[in-house]
Structure 1
């Protein structure tokens, strides 16, 4: 308690109410898989494994590349994760984390990063592996408007002249200038070649004195009159031409390390100003060389070959690569990969691996799906959306379903057919079609249902957007077989469109039969976990117990009012007990506070039954 040591008035803040619980997000989704480009941690090269948060498909294309097929070794493969991201946002998804996996084909760490373009003392490199990184880099020269000079009071102090004029603010220490003395009849145009003998680097000492350094490292004596010379500030414009018409334009770039717009800082390997930059500048020249900025500018401007080369999409990863590895606690440079990288993001509530169902062998598909389910079970507060193999018959999908028993996963069948967005429609030619796993569509529907109704609403009887057809037609007779076994079917209904027509987990435990019940408890448990961290090391007494009870009861009452719990009254919907009845003296002696929470979840009306019979006019009901 506070100490009162001297007479006076003491004003103190106290709380007379219980703390509140804020519900955790339930629609945030995580994918692990192969993409054309983007952040990745891989075996033979530097990188960053932090999955990037994506909020639109346009953003996905900029960070992870587009929908174009992947060239994995000698094979061309559909870019399933990109199509899944497109379907996710089309079906109502809002927040998506992507963990890219990559298997390099080059054993040399120095060449592991895709794409390189050598330019004398500097090298342009692609930031991430992938054929997408084979961009065209055009480094152009930009000459400023004419710079005038401000002459000092003492005309004999030649080196104390200072640059002055329109561009004076950018002509600071490390700037490159082009000096003409005497004045030429015609000045060079914007991107004309540079001449080493006309380039100088501005150097400003600690006293503010400004000097020009030539290519031999000597100080330059300037002419006595302003009419005898002309000075142009020289900067760079870097144009990066990526695939699909992408153009990244970087203006007002300088070559001096002390400059605000230094090209090596703006296009840095690990921390560029544009975090989605395709390339970075690999430059390790000696800072002590005064003419270094001009030398770098000459090399970048004089590069003949402008397109990066050597980038490839690697080879097809196996299930263990998709699963990934945990970060090394003893080495901060070794970060988590694959699904394990998604495990480090607490907000993710839905996970999927769109590439898993398209692996070339059934055993690989089963292995990959098992690792996805194990990931959801390990991190508890998330559910896995599992794809079955493509072109599975009713017997094959039943056999596949029988390989798993989990309350943290849900299986959806069949695959979904769409019009190939990469192939333009031509008159008289049948449109090209593409077969995709359902996980991208279903995870988007999960998110849409959560946003519009709440996590307690079963993500079923919801329209599937962006498709032309299902791979096979699931009728009632077939669903009568698949539904009791926990296979959620996607069906077309005449006049009602294409819908998700199932909401069951892959569990044999009837208590956890339904997806919405499992996800409701995930939401409840995760919210309690995050909101009650303040209680750790508080005095374990009746005051704490009462505070916990009130806090949880307030949260559950809101859930009951939202329709997540059944019961006409709150007493019928939930109970919260935290007192001597839930804890023994041994619990108290060992620092354990035990709160017992019981809720009555609302289960979906999976079977709507009307019983109709005849009755007579004088019958009593």
Structure 2
């Protein structure tokens, strides 16, 4: 701030330099829209690799070309993507209603509704799909206040190699159905769970019934003498009795692990069904209460996740049941077994064109990307599987949206386009898609499919090429054509069609980029033209690197000049603009982004009284003119060979 001297001495005033650095934006952030195995609908989620994608969207899915495209994107050099899941209207999210009584009790009152989904940006998003049917819920009362609170454990049980295993688990402790409290179930679970969201139906002091079984009240101590407890297990094939030895001077707390080990040990018994074995092997035993008259000791037993519901195990001590597990047996005071979500369905796949496009007003489908700050490469591989009319509708919307967002769209061709004649026919039928912000590559690629024993699967090229764009940008810069012998396609076994040089010569002048396989080099991208790159169009935006570099400049300058708005519109401002934009362009020149041996030959930044007249100033307008000489790829290398005539010395 200005110094106001009031006494003799030295004053220091900091003077702003006027330097406002323009920072180049990212150039290869991918965006993918498709149906996936799981994930919240119509919301863009950022992923940084296949591990993120698998966790959020379930990984590869046979009916999801987008899932293979995402994998190819990361395999070929991509590092960041925004993924949007869309689903058919007939897809549904798995749900379960937790009551205050046993499962199946018609008279029980609903306490808590649980739905597969999650909260993002303060909004609850359902997560439809069959995956939700693998969610199991466990309620227990081992809480700070065991009379009014409850714990909720959510487990996703999947089958791997013929055995059930827990893929994910979440536990939320000391919950209550009280509204707007620190431990309110909906506040705690919905803000933290990545698997479910809940809706409270009941109110305190009620709470969901405990899962598993709750044994009868126990005396304050089991007795000092050693004793034998009888454990009876009935798994539908006849009751079997086992003994649990209680050492002397052991209390209920010390007896708990012995009881748990005994129940789990029964799982090793021959003749048990797999589901019964899982229920026993994963059984847990808790000791609730504090031994007082108001809160007596009780054993709480839960079966293993994913276990059988018809299993019955009873532990008898002193003629009374002290622990039970299953649907029947004395002392079963609460819900038997585990709650399980149900009703989840994937719905119809492939999804329709209208679902992919979505709605701009409600930010669904493609327009879920409205909440994304920046993306550069847009891929919707699903569109290639639609009918011709539906495909054109989707890709027309995609191209228009990409243009508005200063992004580049990659178009996939249908599986039926697998030779030169069909490629030419497809191009004729889809001339409406020609645009400077889009490109198409031919033929389709064959990649190893982990879901089919790594046998080759033909997929569209968009994910692979998007990854190649990212790799080239990182290694050489966005101004380098993503093509040539360096542009190897990773994780590609072969191509759907092998082109010859003459066939390549037919497609290239029409703006179709060819993929080729050469000895030593392998499979590479052998073209770098936009769909406006046909020779007959003579467009300034013939080449992909020229167009993408221009989009990079536009977005960088757009973001880097926001500080100009509302500044005094006169020569001091214009000088600052020239300084800052010139510094940005000079840094690109030093990286080799432009043609020309000198900055004067490579670029210019003009902002002065000539570009901004007094009339412009009166209207609040400042005009900045930025020019640059783009690098263009050397498509054709011509070598002239000439024999030298014999030299005759005089």
Counterpart residue number, 1:129: 128
- 1:12 Cα deviation from its structure 2 partner: 3.2
The 3-state SS of whatever aligns with 2:97 is: strand
Aligned partner of 1:368 among 367, 384, 394: 394
C-alpha contact (below 8 Å) 1:115/1:133 kept by paired residues = yes
Counterpart residue number, 1:515: 544
1:118 paired to 2:40: no
1:282 paired to 2:315: no
- 1:297 Cα deviation from its structure 2 partner: 7.1
C-alpha contact (below 8 Å) 1:401/1:411 kept by paired residues = no
Counterpart residue number, 1:253: 173
Give the Cα–Cα distance (whole angstroms) in 1 for the partners of residues 590 and 648 of structure 2: 39
TM-score, normalised via structure 1 length? 0.74
The 3-state SS of whatever aligns with 2:567 is: coil
Q: Write out per-residue CA displacement over residues 551-586 of structure 1, whole angstroms, 9 at most, x where no aligned residue.
A: 111111111111110111111101111112212221
Aligned partner of 1:238 among 132, 136, 154: 154
Query: 1:578–1:58: structure 2 CA closer, same or farther, 3 Å change rule?
Result: same
The 3-state SS of whatever aligns with 2:41 is: coil
Give the Cα–Cα distance (whole angstroms) in 1 for the partners of residues 601 and 35 of structure 2: 48
Counterpart residue number, 1:324: 358
Query: 1:241–1:383: structure 2 CA closer, same or farther, 3 Å change rule?
Result: same
Give the Cα–Cα distance (whole angstroms) in 2 for the partners of residues 575 and 555 of structure 1: 11
Q: Which runs of 5+ in 1 are unaligned?
A: 42-48, 70-77, 107-112, 144-169, 177-199, 203-233, 328-334, 425-430
- 1:612 Cα deviation from its structure 2 partner: 1.6
How many matched pairs?
492
Aligned partner of 1:479 among 474, 498, 504: 504
Aligned partner of 1:308 among 325, 333, 341: 341
The 3-state SS of whatever aligns with 2:73 is: helix
1:401 paired to 2:436: no
Give the Cα–Cα distance (whole angstroms) in 1 for the partners of residues 563 and 347 of structure 2: 47
- 1:296 Cα deviation from its structure 2 partner: 6.8
Give the Cα–Cα distance (whole angstroms) in 2 for the partners of residues 540 and 136 of structure 1: 62
- 1:65 Cα deviation from its structure 2 partner: 1.2
Query: 1:246–1:557: structure 2 CA closer, same or farther, 3 Å change rule?
Result: farther
Aligned partner of 1:98 among 57, 75, 83: 83
Aligned partner of 2:189 among 267, 270, 273: 267
The 3-state SS of whatever aligns with 1:377 is: helix
What pairs up with 1:200-239 in 2 under 5 angstroms?
Answer: 200-201=147-148, 235-239=151-155
Aligned partner of 1:448 among 456, 471, 484: 471
Give the Cα–Cα distance (whole angstroms) in 2 for the partners of residues 531 and 317 of structure 1: 39
Counterpart residue number, 2:366: 339
- 1:421 Cα deviation from its structure 2 partner: 0.6
TM-score, normalised via structure 2 length? 0.71
Query: 1:10–1:325: structure 2 CA closer, same or farther, 3 Å change rule?
Result: farther
What pairs up with 1:57-206 in 2 under 5 angstroms?
Answer: 57-69=50-62, 78-105=63-90, 113-120=92-99, 121-127=111-117, 128-139=127-138, 141=140, 143=142, 171=144, 175-176=145-146, 200-201=147-148
Structure 1, 341-350 or 477-486: larger mean CA deviation: 341-350
1:351 paired to 2:267: no
- 1:619 Cα deviation from its structure 2 partner: 9.4
C-alpha contact (below 8 Å) 1:564/1:602 kept by paired residues = yes
Q: Write out per-residue CA displacement over residues 580-607 of structure 1, whole angstroms, 9 at most, x where no aligned residue.
A: 2212221122111111111001111111
Give the Cα–Cα distance (whole angstroms) in 1 for the partners of residues 541 and 529 of structure 2: 9
RMSD of the TM alignment (CA)? 2.7
Counterpart residue number, 2:600: 571
Q: Write out per-residue CA displacement over residues 339-373 of structure 1, whole angstroms, 9 at most, x where no aligned residue.
A: 212134231011010111112x2222222222211
Query: 1:319–1:237: structure 2 CA closer, same or farther, 3 Å change rule?
Result: closer
The 3-state SS of whatever aligns with 1:254 is: strand
Query: 1:396–1:240: structure 2 CA closer, same or farther, 3 Å change rule?
Result: same
Q: Write out per-residue CA displacement over residues 391-412 of structure 1, whole angstroms, 9 at most, x where no aligned residue.
A: 3132332233342221000111
Counterpart residue number, 1:292: 206
The 3-state SS of whatever aligns with 1:482 is: helix
Q: Write out per-residue CA displacement over residues 66-114 of structure 1, whole angstroms, 9 at most, x where no aligned residue.
A: 2133xxxxxxxx21111111111111110010111122127xxxxxx41
Give the Cα–Cα distance (whole angstroms) in 2 for the partners of residues 104 and 399 of structure 1: 34
Give the Cα–Cα distance (whole angstroms) in 2 for the partners of residues 283 and 238 of structure 1: 16
